[in-house]
Amino acid sequence: MRVVVIGGTGHIGTYLVPSLVRSGHEVVVISRGVRRAYREDPLWGAVQMVVCDREEAETGRLFGATVAQLNPDAVVDLTCFTPAQARQLVEALDGQHLIHTGTVWSYGASALVPTTEDSPKDPYGEYGINKLAIERYLESQDRVRATVVHPGHISGPGWMPIGPAGNLDPAVIDGLRADGSCLLPDRGGETIHHVHAEDVAGLHQACLEQPDKAASHSFNSVCTQALTLRGYAVLVARHFGHEPNLEFVPWSEFAARVDPEQAASTIEHIGRAPLFSMEKARAVLGFVPRHSVTDTVLGSIDAWVAANRD
């Protein structure tokens, strides 16, 4: 089929676009033209690239028409963050299968775990609230067949994953590499639920290629297991040849001892206690993630260290 991928050079598109070409699809990528894919692949040579600044085109209400004029059979939207963006795109389409990238943050804090797709949703924060509003809009409209994929913490070679302290502070990885040391809040029992970008791409493709099964559904996209902060720190320390030297302190002390921006990131992540089920994707689409959570985070960290540290 002819597939338009919006934002196809980012984390997910890096894996999705070559895989679609390999499977015989005709692929058009819309991007701002300022980023290269994270991984080189000769199959990018078979992709039609369309340079378009989405925000600018949306201001003139031209973006939806730009996509529609490419005559897609299906559209994968990796960069939609507000209901207004979704509405402008949908109103320009006519019956295509639209796969929207949502987020597990649309659930809010986990209650019953592992959290399934039919769990009640009560998000907080602009990002999660807007993503839930997009999902509700897509459920209510009848111009396109819509599917929503909800990734967890997307990880992969080329960028820093959320680390054992629940943030992106490179000093956390440096300490674990140096001597296995790491400062953690409370007892380190909160969860972080990663997913490899290749598996997020794989689930998008599974939805795309099974529209009758995927339409009108949402699917979680995470590794089949999550990590606790404590378990994550132990894993990384031992990966670099050290026994873990972990320090546990109350949240108030943790927040006072780390950079305020990093503390805010930590509480934003662990406050949701993310832990999600992948059973629906397996049962409905036959999709099972290829990457374990340990391989996902360690591969991401090793690639980041190689690129950024001596």
Residue range 14-33: average pLDDT?
Answer: 97
pLDDT category, 308, cuts 50, 70, 90?
Answer: confident
How does the average pLDDT of the chain come out, rounded? 96
- CATH number at 2-155+195-223+280-285: 3.40.50.720
CA distances from 84 to 57, 61, 92 (A): 13, 11, 13
Cα 290 from Cα 300, distance rounded (Å): 15
**Confidence at residue 176, expressed as pLDDT on a 0 to 100 scale:** 98
Percentage of residues of the chain with pLDDT beyond 70: 99
Residue 310 has pLDDT above 60, yes or no: no
| Band (231; pLDDT cuts 50, 70, 90) | very high
Smallest CA-to-CA distance from 155 within 104, 191, 195, 185 is with: 195
Query: Quick one: average pLDDT of 166-190?
Result: 97
Burial of 45 (0-12, 13-18, 19+ CB in 10 A): exposed
Domain range summary for the chain, segments of one domain joined by +? 2-155+195-223+280-285, 170-192+226-275+292-308
Separation between Cα atoms, residue 58 and residue 32, nearest integer Å: 13
Tell me the C-alpha distance between 158 and 100, whole Å: 23
At 305, the pLDDT band (50, 70, 90 cuts) reads: very high
Omega prior to 114 cis, within 30 of 0: yes
For 52-109, write each residue's pLDDT tens digit: 999 999 999 999 999 999 999 999 999 999 999 999 999 999 999 999 999 999 999 9
pLDDT of residue 146: 98
Residue 294, pLDDT score: 98
Does residue 164 contact residue 229 with C-beta atoms inside 8 Å? yes
pLDDT tens readout for residues 192-209: 999 999 999 999 999 999
d(CA 200, CA 205): 9
In this prediction, residue 281 carries a pLDDT of 98
26: β partners? 2
* pLDDT for residue 309 is more than 80: no
Q: Binning pLDDT at 50, 70 and 90, where does residue 36 land? A: confident
C-alpha pair distances (Å), 308 with each of 113, 125, 169, 170, 302: 36, 31, 13, 10, 10
Q: Which positions ≥6 away from 25 have C-beta within 8 Å?
A: 1, 2, 3
**Tens of pLDDT along 131-170?**
999 999 999 999 999 999 999 999 999 999 999 999 999 9
CA–CA distances in Å: residue 135 to residues 36, 153, 225, 252: 29, 19, 25, 36
